[in-house]
Amino acid sequence: MEDMLEERTLSRALKRETSIEEEEKNRKLVIFAWSGDLDRMWPTLILATTSAAMGMQTTVFFTFWGLLPLVRNDVRITGENWMQKMLSLMNRGGTEHLKLTKMNFAGAGPAMMRKLARDHKVASPQELLELAQEMGVRLVPCQMTMDLLGLTREDLIDGAEAPAGATSALLDAQDAITLFI
């Protein structure tokens, strides 16, 4: 009888420990931002700020085109060679220059979305990015993407963390809710 009681107590303790581990696991959000389009950056930043407001440890890892919103709005042409410079000319970084994945209409689509957002009191991507920083969201640029596009730390917004690689991003994502946007 005593053995059964001890086994039940141990079982309950293990369940409680597992429950605490699961709760801690769900207190962390990592978002891989691989697209810099307006209609993907908005939800990325809304989810990041919402999770931070809920007390979750939040990281956004910006890679490939998703890195472009971390480029300062006043930076125009970047890169060391003609290909990198051409890419920056065709796809300007910064939150003020985000395109839509659909219905871009030579820039009219994003202008309409921004107007609708203002009319409905939805924070702009720039405002959300600033809010994310204030709330302690980690904004991590991808080092490989920076190298590919010829971007430097000086090209990025203040408050972006040190660039990191895929290994660091995946280690951070362990035991976290992970989203790819």
Among 137, 98, 139, which residue's Cα sits nearest to residue 117? 98
Number of domains in the chain: 1
Q: Does 67 fall in a domain? A: yes
Cα distances (angstroms) measured from residue 53 to each of 33, 44, 124, 128, 161: 19, 14, 17, 12, 20
Q: Which CATH number goes with the domain that contains 160?
A: 3.40.1260.10
Distance, first Cα to last Cα, the chain: 55
Q: What is the pLDDT along the chain (181 residues), one digit of tens a residue?
A: 666 667 777 767 677 665 555 565 568 999 999 998 988 999 999 999 999 999 999 999 999 999 999 999 888 888 899 988 888 888 888 888 888 888 877 778 888 888 888 999 999 999 999 999 999 999 999 999 999 999 999 999 999 999 999 999 999 999 999 999 9
Confirm whether 22 is domain-assigned.
no
For residue 97, the model assigns a pLDDT of 84
Q: Look-up: residue for tokens 């690689």?
A: 165
| Whole-number pLDDT of residue 4 | 64
Residue 23 lies in a domain: no
Look at residue 163 in the predicted model and tell me its pLDDT.
Answer: 97
Task: Please check whether residue 160 lies inside any domain of the structure.
Answer: yes
* Pure H helices in 54-142: 82-90, 108-119, 125-134
Rounded Cα distance between 60 and 137, Å, is 7
Q: Is residue 100 part of a domain?
A: yes
Q: Is residue 10 part of a domain?
A: no
DSSP three-state, residue 30: strand
Examine residue 9 and state whether it is found in any structural domain, yes or no: no
- Residue 33 covered by a domain: yes
User: 121: domain range?
Assistant: 29-180
Helix axes 125-134, 38-53, angle to 10 degrees: 30
Q: What is the model's pLDDT at position 5?
A: 65
